[in-house]
Amino acid sequence: MAFNFHQELSRIWEKAVSLYRSGNTDTEIFPISEELPILASWEINKMDLFDYAEDWCLHQEPDLLTFILVHYERWSYFVEEQKGQPSPNLLDSSTLPAKSASAEGIIWLPRILPKARAKLRGELPPEVMYGCGGDREFFQHNQVHPAEFLRVVRRFGDDDDSIVQWVAQRRHTSSSLL
């Protein structure tokens, strides 16, 4: 990664937002072909950029810093865990738990766990966004930043119980501070 990763990614995100605002709302013909090689070198795909730019334009979230932090976590996982080798797998979106599923009373947690793992591994299909509206509601309600959640999932791996306990503790700690 270049020392100016954040600056370049910021520039590309701003371009995507500008393109979207000027009417480029079709993912198939979203005109960022000259940016794709640098994005690919960081394991960021066209849909990652498009989804975040679109949601920013429509909902004013997630913001640029969240986009950068989330994709830094993905890049870090790619380099450190995957040794620079992309995964040949894609998450089957039909296998995601229901949006109403809960763990320890925490709605959405069973759904976001496989999404977070797939985001880290670069296995999200184009129709699934890590950081979508439902994810954002989960993050806000539980006082967890999306990039922080990726770090927690990375730390605990497939140990769902530890992740559930971490979120439950965060939720309890955050609510007592309000």
Give tens-digit pLDDT for 134-166.
999 999 999 999 999 999 999 999 999 999 999
Kindly report the average pLDDT of the chain as a whole number: 94
Which contacts of 1-8 are long-range, i.e. CB under 8 A and separated by 24 or more positions?
A: 1/42, 1/75, 1/79, 5/42, 5/72, 5/75, 6/68, 6/72, 8/38
Q: Which pLDDT value is given to residue 1?
A: 57
What residues form DSSP beta bridges with 107?
Answer: 102
* pTM, full prediction: 0.92
Distance CA(90)–CA(124), nearest Å, equals 6
